[in-house]
Amino acid sequence: MLYSFEDFALDCDRRELRRGDEVLALQPQVFDLIEYLIRQRDRVVSKDDLITAIWGGRVVSESALTSRINAARTAIGDTGEDQRLIRTLPRKGVRFVGAVREDRPTTAPPFAAVTPVPRLEPPERPSIAVLPFQNMSGDSEQEYFADGMVEEIITGLSRIKWLSVISRNSTFIYKNKPVAIQEVAEKFSARYVLEGSVRKSANRVRITAQLIDAQTGVHLWAEQYDRVLEDVFALQDEITMHVIGAIEPSVRKAEIERVRRQRPNNLNAYDLVLRSLPFLFPQRPQDAAAAIPLLENAVRLQPDYGAAHAFLGWCLHTRFAFGEKRDEDRTAAIAHAHAAIAHGSDDATALAVAAYVIAYDENDTATALDLFDRALDLSGSNVFALSMSAMTLAWMGRAEIAIERAERAIRLSPFDPYNFRSRHALAIVCFHKRQYAGAVGAARDAIRHNPKFGIARAVLAAALLRLGRVEEAKAAGRDLLECEPSFTISGRTRTAGFQPAVFAPFAEAWREIGLPE
């Protein structure tokens, strides 16, 4: 369809806005907003309509929505004062009021019926995607070591203030697949791509790595390393330093020093933590049970290993909150969280995990928020700190900062299957703000990323009930109890009831559905 108005033409097939022969550059969401308003010009479009159509039901702050509307006005020569084409009707919404001519028929369905695909906007800072390193050992049992090497390099890079780092779990969609660098760059809006391989044999390791400018395809740096395993932590730092130096040759020594953090001095303890990682992130009691013995051994081998304490506390929290509800698990989780703080003060992930446990098991939100801030000060790209703090802030009723952190986590980690917490945070905020359709969309998004995350189904059930979809709400409640049989309203109050004004409406809805008290 080609829509003409004043001296503009909106070509929906080519996704172009033209003035005469000039094609105007627009952000994708601004183009979608203009197109949607034109298609819906016979009616007033509410804020909820815009959020559903343009953002797919995700939570969007008032300032972001106003900014997009103003950008749409600017693109077509309108202003907030004149409102010749896009008019705001107080407490109702907005409407396109200009005269429009449709120059070409189309058989496409109305825009409102299309579920828009979220688009990533390029980050303001330089960005890098670290692809999974190939395991060249000929032994599938060594996959965890290659993956752990990538995790450590990403952790080091994420401590650089001026660099945006795509999370490991997003880039790992390319694991064991052929990769086109340009595709990676476009998918993640990444300026640089790091790829490599690992060969581990006996007590030696060989690592190759190369850094590519994704915009030009030029190889900025490449190197091969042969080391004994005892040097592996120094090697991880060395690779990270070379990457930083290739991206920004004038980087200050202080920025390089930020990369360095306390490493485990026991390689066997480190190995045990790597082996536990696949069991940590789904946050299910049965997975936690598999990880706990590994992490207990790691702590036994190295009592001052901050990350091991943090992950062990997290697993004990999972077993307490979603499983057997044993007080000894809660007490031990808190103890290991505090040990993680004592021994992992320069590890952003350890601090974020400890903050999460302290918030939900000790109910000390002031300490938790301080720890989240310390983690993000160490690493602004740390998805754990962003998503876990977003969820905590959402339950506290601090909607704007919860939205900001959740959206930043999703942008940095758009394909991360473990970023369900960010979607869950958005669902909580939506429900609290009585945007129940948005809560349904965000909760379902969280469930798609982790079908066994029961509390997301609880939020979904509450939102469906408030939309009047009672039978769907009850079905969601049954699904919740199937994946989390130990769920009770009182149990959830004990862990997430930070702010009664936020939590009480959920509890009330759950009682109406008939969930166990």
pLDDT tens-place string over residues 322-348: 877 788 988 999 999 999 998 877 788
Higher pLDDT, 149 or 111: 149
Residues in the chain: 517
Q: Which residues, in sequence order, are CB contacts of 327 under 8 Å at separation 6+?
A: 320
| Residues 396, 373: Cα–Cα separation, whole Å | 16
pLDDT digit string (tens) for 212-247?
887 777 777 788 888 787 777 777 677 766 666 666
- Indicate the pLDDT class of residue 254, thresholds 50, 70 and 90: very low
CA–CA distance, 438 with 463 (Å, rounded to integer): 9
Domain 127-259, CATH among 3.40.50.10610, 1.20.1540.10, 3.30.70.260, 1.10.357.10: 3.40.50.10610
* Each residue's pLDDT tens digit, 7-52: 888 887 677 888 877 777 666 677 888 888 988 887 888 887 787 7
Q: Are strands 127-130 and 93-96 parallel, antiparallel or unpaired?
A: unpaired
Cα 438 to its chain centre, rounded Å, is: 18
Query: Would you state the pLDDT for residue 265?
Result: 66
Supply the pLDDT for residue 244: 62
Architecture of domain 266-364: Alpha Horseshoe (1.25)
Pick from 166, 195, 35: nearest CA to 112 = 35
- pLDDT reading at 463 higher than 50: yes
pLDDT of residue 67: 74
Task: Give residue-wise pLDDT tens across range 491-505.
Answer: 888 888 888 899 999
The whole-number pLDDT of residue 316 equals 92
Domain assignments of the chain as residue spans, ordered by start: 2-113, 127-259, 266-364, 416-517
% of the chain with per-residue pLDDT over 70: 85
Question: Residue 125: its pLDDT value, please?
Answer: 61
d(CA 175, CA 134) in angstroms, rounded, equals 8
Contacts of 218 (CB under 8 A, 6+ apart): 212
Cα three-residue angle 10-14-18, rounded to 5 degrees: 35
Average pLDDT of span 401-424: 82
The DSSP letter of residue 283 is -
pTM value > 0.75: no
- The Cα–Cα gap between 432 and 393 comes to 12
* Cα separation, 389 vs 372, whole angstroms: 6
- Contact status, residue 276 vs residue 316, Cβ threshold 8 Å: no
- 111 has a pLDDT exceeding 50: no
Find all residues with CB under 8 Å of 303, minimum gap 6, and list them.
Answer: none
Edge to edge, the sheet with strand 101-102 lists 22-24, 16-19, 8-11, 2-5, 101-102
Q: How confident is the model at residue 263 (pLDDT cuts 50, 70, 90)?
A: low
Given this model, what pLDDT does residue 338 score? 93
Give the CA angle between residues 199, 201, 207 to the nearest 5°: 25
* Rounded average pLDDT over 109-116: 32
pLDDT of residue 346: 78
Residue 413 has a CB neighbour count (10 Å cut-off) of 25
Task: Say which CATH class 416-517 falls into.
Answer: mainly alpha
* Residue of higher predicted confidence among 99 and 63: 99
Looking at 3.40.50.1820, 1.10.10.10, 2.130.10.10, 2.30.30.140, the CATH number of the domain 2-113 comes to: 1.10.10.10
The Cα 57–Cα 430 span in angstroms is 9
Least confident of 53-57, 104-108, 452-456: 104-108
Q: 61 exposed, middle or buried (CB, 10 Å; 0-12, 13-18, 19+)?
A: middle
pLDDT band, residue 312 (cuts 50/70/90): very high
**pLDDT at residue 267 in the model:** 73
* Equal fold, 266-364 vs 416-517: yes
